[in-house]
Amino acid sequence: MWTNTCCSHPAPGERVDAAAHRRLVEEMGFDCPLQAAFNFTYRAEFDNGLIEHEFDHVFVGRWEGEITPNPEEVGSYRYITLTDIRRWMAERPEDFTPWFKIALPEVEKYFQRL
């Protein structure tokens, strides 16, 4: 399933913003300035019996350099516009994680405010 660039949980005692930077490097091989954008809570039940009920922090940043994803963390990646993501999600919602479906409209609102 496709989702946001990076996902994780802070280590015990680690600040959320520090965890975001750490995991961005561990997953995608780069770091950049990040801004806290918004938070949300979601609950999703999966076909395998797993239930996620989480409070998520969303950070945004811009990067124009090399991307070297960790193959143990990242199966694939793409850079596409918000318009293309929205269109793809409308046509094939099953391609995306439950939390990304919730977060995408808020990400769009965040960028509209800039």
Q: Of 14, 45, 52, 54, which residue is the catalytic one?
A: 54
CA distances from 13 to 16, 25, 30 (A): 9, 19, 23
Per residue in 18-61, pLDDT (tens digit) is 999 999 999 999 999 999 999 999 999 988 999 999 999 999 99
54 counts as catalytic: yes
32 counts as catalytic: no
Element (H, E) at 72: none
pTM of the model: 0.88
Q: Which amino acid is at 32?
A: C
- What does the domain layout of the chain look like in residue ranges? 16-113
Comparing C-alpha atoms, which of 80, 76, 54, 55 is closest to residue 67?
A: 76
CATH H superfamily, domain 16-113: Nucleoside Triphosphate Pyrophosphohydrolase (3.90.79.10)
> In angstroms, rounded to a whole number, what is the distance separating the alpha carbons of residues 82 and 16?
25
Judged against a pLDDT cut of 90, whether residue 103 lies above it is answered with: yes
Angle 98-113/82-91 helices, nearest 10 degrees? 150
Per residue in 36-48, pLDDT (tens digit) is 999 999 999 988 9
Residue 6 is predicted with a pLDDT of: 87
